[in-house]
Amino acid sequence: MDRILIIGAGGQLGRELSELYPESIKLYHGNSGEFQVDAVNMGELERKIISIDPDLLINASALANVDRCEREKGYAYKVNGLSVGTMASCSRSLGIPFVHVSTDYIFDGNEGNYSECDFPNPINYYGLSKLVGDVFADSYENSLIVRTSGVFGHTSNFPRFVYNTLSEGKTVNAIPGYYSPIHARNLAAAIRDLVSLGQRGIINVAGERISRNDLAIQIAEFFDLPKDLIREPGEVKTMVARRPFDSSLNIEKAKSLLNTDFYSVKSNLEQFRKTVDK
């Protein structure tokens, strides 16, 4: 495998993926200046992918702002849905593996601990648009769909918000609910290893199930910050889109395949410490 095209390399996951692969592998992505493309221009996207002719295509891109997706449904549908169809089609034409990153938000959050076989039922447009992308990716037999939850790293995210806010001596209001947060570095390493193993189909790769309130407390304890400033408010009414209450993922399949601790809160906070220290 000599050429890998990473779409979405400017995001926290794409950045980690770009840093993980050895220098002997040629990486193509927007940050390198060799792959500049408008994600909603399907014709341009197709021409760029075909011209690069990669050995592997990884889609780490998404419009992940849940409220923006609710307000800009047409744009979200193109970025999270139609563009994935174009990528899958190009991968089929080139005869190469296609890796697509999915989300826990395709589920309604009524049950939690969702497995790869559970039926999706999104309750917001972000989840629906991502599900459209999943369907396109799954239609290609040589695809790997990595479903994840609460990815965090060097950009704005809940753990970063908690760390910064507590460091400033301010109160943190943790939205009620459960999920399976994972650091982008651990997720990227898991994707790399699953590709090396030749895995296909849907695989959940995420962290341990935890509430945002408990995660905030663990962050405070990990970094020796004041946990008495953490609050769990009631219903949050300032959000445009609904959120699933328990979107946690069952990761037993990934744990059986990977001989690494990608999932524990401690492992992910250790990676987060490296991010904070940069």
Q: Nearest CA to 155 among 11, 32, 9, 7?
A: 11
Of residues 97, 103, 180, 166, the one with CA closest to residue 134: 103
Q: How many CA atoms lie within 13 A of 180 on its CB side?
A: 28
Q: Identify the DSSP state of 265.
A: H
d(CA 190, CA 262) in angstroms, rounded, equals 7
126 annotated active-site: yes
Tokens 């040589």 belong to 142
The residue assigned the tokens 């910050």 is: 225
Residue 68 and residue 16 in contact, taking contact as beta carbons nearer than 8 Å: no
Instruction: Say what angle helices 158-167 and 212-222 make with each other, to 10 degrees.
Output: 50
Distance (Å, whole) CA 201 – CA 27 = 24
42-75: b or e for each residue (b if 16 or more CB lie within 10 Å)? beebbebbeebebebbbbbbbbbebebbbeeeee
Catalytic-role residue among 28, 77, 126, 179: 126
Residue that is written with structure tokens 């990528």 in the block: 87
The alpha helices in 72-124, defined as continuous H runs, are 73-76, 83-94
Type of residue numbered 39: A
- Catalytically annotated residues: 126
